[in-house]
Amino acid sequence: MKRRKHRLTALLLAVPMMLAVCSPLALAGDLPPIPLTTKKTRVAGDANADKKVTLEDAVAISRRLAGGWNVEINTDNADVNADKKVDLKDVVLILRYLADGWEVTLQ
């Protein structure tokens, strides 16, 4: 039952993210520039550098990966599994982190 709840939560998080990624209204120029981080200011998962880890971060990374949007991300923050690359694994980890209950630690 608990596992089903987590899957439902992840699905509920994924649907608006995909809509945001695919929306024709979500064009370049709608996001502010992303500041660089230092080790002191790094927040794992905070791809848009607003000091919070939210669905917007997963959307920003997804847009960047999809191409076609002029989206800047903070790659240090976005690489949440510390494998030196930003890819869909990082997006999934952020979504699982936000869904809670997956015991995900963002690195």
For Ca ion, the binding residues (CB under 5 A) are: 46, 48, 50, 52, 57, 79, 81, 83, 90
Q: How far is the CB of 19 from Ca ion (least distance, A)?
A: 19
Nearer to Ca ion, 2 or 51 (CB): 51
Nearer to Ca ion, 57 or 76 (CB): 57
Q: How far is the CB of 103 from Ca ion (least distance, A)?
A: 18
Distances, alpha carbon 54 to alpha carbons 1, 27, 45, 86, 90, in Å = 26, 20, 8, 17, 13
Nearer to Ca ion, 10 or 57 (CB): 57
Cβ–Cβ < 8 Å for 47, 77: yes
Cβ–Cβ < 8 Å for 58, 94: yes
